[in-house]
A and B are shown apart, each in its own frame.
Chain A
Amino acid sequence: MLTFVIYKSVLCVVIFAISLGVAAYSTWWERKFAAFLQDRKGPSRAGPFGLLQPLADGGKMFFKEEIIPNVSNKFLFILGPSLFLLTSMMTGVVIPWGKDVTIGADTFSLQITDINIGILYVLGVTSIGVYGIMIGGWASNNKYSLLGAIRASSQMISYEIAMGISIIALVITAGGTLSLRQIIDQQDAGWCNLVYQPLGFLIFLICAFAETNRAPFDLSECETELIGGYNTEYSAFKLGAFLFAEYINMFISSALMAGLYFGGYNFPFAHEFYNSLGLQEGSWLISLIGFGVYFFKTCIFISVFMWIRWTLPRFRYDQLMNLGWKVLIPLSLLNLVLTVVVEYFRGNIIL
């Protein structure tokens, strides 16, 4: 029992630290990558290659003056970013980062908890995250913040539908399980889910951009019309919490995409590779390699997020709604129907 508690606490702390670390260095990589795409150098003064930049930014955020508007609801004003950060940290709980490690008689999973409704849990928690933005925008008592919050919430609600339907299609392909671990494990032997769900992946990708409020769907926090949207009245660490949570969301949705569609910690000829190294099932080295592979895939997706951001201009609000309701939802329904038909003929669904 004691081993269990210690191991779970250590795992929680490690995943917490990794999420925060990745979020911090995403800001660095965002600026660096943007610079590369625009033929610039990017941050280079703080440390080698500007690697200490996140620390400098964080320090700046921390020591800035904290302003709470007089007319705001103070409790809700503080609750907003806290809730947003909390929910974004909570989604990381169900992601399996690698295969189980066996030490002696004990088996340690690299997943904080393997609940059987894994994806549903992620969807549920991210929709609670909308409350963070809504509450924050509302409590600011500022029309720009309110407009930003309205945009963010309507956008998240619209795109969650298409995302949910594309996930249903994926779950059908994956044999009817919602557990992330099982979905990743069933991609071990055969092809990764991308082969079976190319359209579903595209829909999921687009929805993930909208869900994380990233460009080209970042009109809820656009500077030009809304002066930063729901961020307008926030300063210092509460602003930092909003921005940070957004990067953590990006990290988690990248991990989800890598796991759901790209096989997570599996990679082609993994078994042959492990056998050639003479590794036994349950070895910590297998888990480590698997974690490295998964992490690499996740980083690639984070870079794709940035690549898109620095390529595409922002959508207009009506375009966003048209895309969500008139294109993505019908498309995801079509994808669902196609999946069911194909799976029926493959004999995976018995009516």
Chain B
Amino acid sequence: MALQLTNRSKVVSNKEQSLSEKLYLPAIVKGMAITFSHLFKKAPTIKYPDEVRPMAPVYRGQHVLKRDENGAERCTSCGMCAVACPAEAITMESGERKKGEEHLYREEKYATKYEINMLRCIFCGLCEDACPKEAIFLTDRIVDTDYERGDFVYGKDKLVEKVDQRVDVSKRQTPEVLAFKKIPGLKHNELFDGKKLNKGKH
């Protein structure tokens, strides 16, 4: 017997059609019975704007740049996320904090420009893993559609969370994740351990 993957294949035959086959009507009735039975089946449709499909709690959607509890931006423009990014979607420019801007930026260095190209991004979450300052997180928000390619390059205006509209990332920022990021064996943890950095390992 020939190799058979499923048992749905039928041997072709050229035999004369029987009377009931020639009449077509039994076949038509059969077909109509099949369609009729579908009348009573539940549609698997999810009416999207009204209903939302259940999402994984750790869904990796649009990024957010977090602020700290005082409302200052956490990002120090170290560039670890851009290095970690396999799709090379992240670019940034750094700037120095001026006097009187302490409430805006957490540390002396900050990102004057921070852009993620949402068309390049593969939403792997490696930027989040790489971030030593707990500044970037992926959220359960879905990146909006747009008409122009250029509009998919999200700047700080879209990425940084608003002071009065904090984005909840507690689902992805669990104590386990924080503990994981402190494991000394990991390369990026070593890198930011002050002593080892001074040894000029990199």
A37 contact set on B, CB distance < 8 A: 35-36, 38-39
Kindly state whether residue A35 has any CB partner on chain B within 8 Å: yes
**Bound state CA distance, A310 and B43, in angstroms?**
16
Asked whether, in the complex, the Cβ of B39 is within 8 Å of the Cβ of A308, the reply is: no
Bound CA span A309–B71, Å: 62
Please determine whether A40 and B45 come into contact, CB atoms closer than 8 angstroms: yes
Q: Does A307 contact B (CB under 8 A)?
A: yes
| Docked complex Cα distance between A308 and B41 (Å) | 18
Which residues of B sit under 8 angstroms from A44, Cβ to Cβ? 47
Q: Are A308 and B32 in contact (CB under 8 A)?
A: yes
Task: Check A307/B36 contact, CB under 8 A, given A312-B28, A312-B31.
Answer: yes
- Measured between beta carbons, the chain A residues less than 8 angstroms from B200 are none
CB-nearest residue of chain A to B39: A36
B31 interface neighbour in A36, A38, A39, A311, Cβ under 8 Å: A311
What is the count of residue pairs linking A and B with beta-carbon distances less than 8 angstroms? 32
Does any Cβ of B come within 8 Å of A316's Cβ?
Answer: no
Determine the residue in chain B with the shortest Cβ distance to A310.
B35
Give how many A residues have a beta carbon under 8 Å from the other chain's beta carbons.
13
A residues 30-67 near B (Cβ < 8 Å) are 35-41, 44
Q: Which of B28, B34, B43, B47 has the most CB of A within 10 A?
A: B43
CB distance from A312 to the nearest CB of B (A): 6
Q: In the docked arrangement, what's the CA distance between A37 and B41, Å?
A: 9
Most A CB atoms within 10 A — which of B35, B41, B42? Answer: B35
Scan residues 26-59 of chain B and give those whose CB is less than 8 A from a CB of chain A. 28, 31-32, 34-36, 38-39, 41-45, 47
CA distance A36 to B28 in the complex (A): 19
Whether B43 and A41, one on each chain, are in contact in the complex, defined by CB atoms closer than 8 angstroms, is: yes
Chain A residue contacts of B42, Cβ below 8 A: 39
Which B residues touch A310, using CB under 8 A?
Answer: 35
Q: What CA separation (Å) do A307 and B32 show in the bound complex?
A: 7
What residues of B have a CB within 8 angstroms of the CB of A35 in the complex? 43
Q: Of all chain A residues, which has the CB nearest B45?
A: A41
Beyond contacts A44-B47, A307-B32: 17 other A-B pairs, Cβ-Cβ < 8 A, are: A35-B43, A36-B38, A36-B39, A37-B38, A37-B39, A38-B38, A39-B38, A39-B42, A39-B44, A40-B43, A40-B45, A41-B43, A41-B45, A308-B32, A311-B28, A311-B31, A311-B35
What are 5 A-B pairs with beta-carbon distances under 8 A? Answer: A39-B42, A39-B43, A40-B45, A311-B28, A312-B31
